[in-house]
Each structure stands twice: as structure tokens, then as C-alpha cells.
Amino acid sequence: MQTQIGTDINMAIAYLKQGEVVAIPTETVYGLAGNALDEEAVLNIYEAKQRPRFNPLILHVSSFDKFSLYARNIPEHCRKLAEKFSPGPLTFLLLKQDSVPDLVTAGSEKVAIRIPSHPVTLSLLQELDFPLAAPSANPFGYVSPVTAQHVYDGLQGRIPYILDGGPCSVGMESTIIGFDNDEIILYRHGAIPLESIEEVTGRPVRQLVQHVQIDTPGQLKSHYAPHIPLWVGDIDSLMQVHHGKKMAVISFSKRYTYPEPAYQFVLSPSADFHEAARNLFKVLREIDSLDADIILAERFPEVGLGRAINDRLQRAQAVFKS
């Protein structure tokens, strides 16, 4: 199969209506999209990604009005948060309607659903009469793509079309939250920090980030991994442990000068969490093309988006510790 990169929304629509899978831009990362109500299209997503069938997918829709078509018993907290953060990088885990295939939710009675804020994909969704299931558009387990070229590098020959919407503005996957009666539960750290959720709802958020029983997307322990071994922790200590190796160092805002690493990547010189999150996957991909022996990554402050960055780094590390 020949893979084409372009900006033709109508071509993407045509492929999607035929049951094909195409890559689409979102504000978080590029997604690998197919008709969520068509089981063959969903199977094509799994096949293209080589993704385990037990890992659920996120539904993407054009407006909050569409939620009730695919989810039921939508709580008031969900409405409040959607008014504040949607369209945007917040995913809601809700009881699913029967119209959503079990293949999308991996057999769970709950469905993950969100409204992306990227104008190209919003326009695309408005032209479709079905939601899109769209995990990140990369081979399963590898670093998420934030440009059309990243998608092409990983999925060339597996999908017919990549809809190019430019670099992703957020560069970090969505936060996933769910509800249990009046309780708000955070299942995945992401672009919306839990403090912001608590501020809107006036309720404390219970964290239930897990990597064993997979009920929501993006929870596998080993995920987002580059091909070069990665270790997270205190950089000075890690440099001593791995002395003599050609090291690539990822840090928040600090530049390490002794011993001078072979490659050094500062995610945000101004210590801005949003800038750091936006640069993380791009830097991991860049390092993967270098001749480094090992990647050393700084542990970020456990506040705001720092939690989400640590989560991605720890899961990128997990494949090399298992």
C-alpha cells in the first residue's frame, strides 16, 4: 500500500467512509482514525498499529451534543468540565451505549470519548455521521507522533492517507477522567492537570492510574518507548552509574556541563511545563535517530503537567526494566 501525505479533508472523508484508516491531526498527538461503529475499520486500526486487542480506543466527536449518542448517564460534573475544557485534551470515561462496539472498548461497559480542538479534525468530524476511534498514529508501544512525518516514518505502507495539520500544539495525550457517583477519578495524567479539574468542579480528584488491568486507553505499563534504553532519575547519579557510555540527557530546564553528555536536550529553558510537554515526544524521536548508548531523563516536579511527563517517561523506561 502506498501512503500519501496531504491536506485534502475530502480525501480523508472518502477513505473513512470506505472503512479505511487514515491519520488525523489533533492538538495532542496525531491519531490513527477509523469509523468507530464499523468493526472492520476498528480491526484495521489494531492491525496497522499492531496493538493488543485488550487496549481500548478513544472515540472522537465534534460536539458535546454527540456524547449522548454513544454514552449514557452523563453526570453533571462531566457537563461542567466539557463546558470548560472541550474542545480540548480532556477525555471522559462514561457508560457506553449499545451502539458502541465492544471491540472499541475491549469489552468494557465504559467508553472513552472526547472532542479534539484541532480545527482540521473538527471540520472533518462535522462532515461525518459517525464518530472516529483514534489512538495515537504510531506502531504500538513506540513514541507518539506529533507531526505528519512522524506518522509516515512509522506507518508508511500500512495506511493510505495522512491528513497533515501541521505540528501538534499540545504534544501530550489527553487527560482521562471518569466518575463514580459524585466522585471524580483520574485514570491517566495528561494535558489537563488534576488541579484544573478540581478548580472547576470544586471536588477532590481521586487518582487511579494503573498499568495492570487495562480499562481505559493508554494504561499499559510499557508504552511510549524509544529504541534506546532510557532511565529516569537524578541525572548526576545516573551519569556516574553509566560512565563511559555515550549519553543523551533530557532535562526540564537545567543544562548539565560535567561530565558533558554527548547529546543534551533541555525541554524548556524557561521551565514552562506546557513547552516541556509539547517537546517531549519530538525529543525522544530525535534521540532515537542518534548513536547514543543510553538516554538519561530527569524526573520532573510532581505538580501539574509534571505528573503527566513523569508518567510518560516512566512507561518509556518500563520496557527496559522488565
pLDDT tens per residue across span 84-99: 999 999 999 999 999 9
Of residues 322 and 178, the one with the higher pLDDT is 178
- Whole-angstrom CA distances from 33 to 100, 197, 246 are 15, 27, 38
**For the segment 13-31, what is each residue's pLDDT rounded down to a tens digit?**
999 999 999 999 999 999 9
Q: What is the band of 184 on the pLDDT scale with cuts at 50, 70, 90?
A: very high
| pLDDT over 50 (residue 213) | no
Average pLDDT of 142-164?
95
CATH number attached to the domain at 230-321? 3.40.50.11030
The CATH class of the 4-207 domain is alpha beta
Q: Are 309 and 284 in contact (CB under 8 A)?
A: no
Indicate the pairing of strand 110-114 with strand 90-96. antiparallel
Rg (alpha carbons) of the chain, rounded to whole number: 19
| pLDDT over 70 (residue 143) | yes
Establish whether domains 4-207 and 230-321 are of one fold: no
Q: What is the band of 214 on the pLDDT scale with cuts at 50, 70, 90?
A: very low
Q: What is the pLDDT of residue 43?
A: 85
Return the domain boundaries, the chain. Answer: 4-207, 230-321
Q: Which among 175, 180, 188 is positioned nearest to 215, based on CA atoms?
A: 188
| pLDDT over 90 (residue 46) | no
Q: What is the pLDDT of residue 210?
A: 57
Q: What is the band of 224 on the pLDDT scale with cuts at 50, 70, 90?
A: low
| pLDDT over 60 (residue 322) | no
Q: Are 318 and 220 in contact (CB under 8 A)?
A: no
Strands in 263-266's sheet, in edge-to-edge order, are 230-233, 294-298, 247-251, 263-266
| pLDDT over 80 (residue 11) | yes
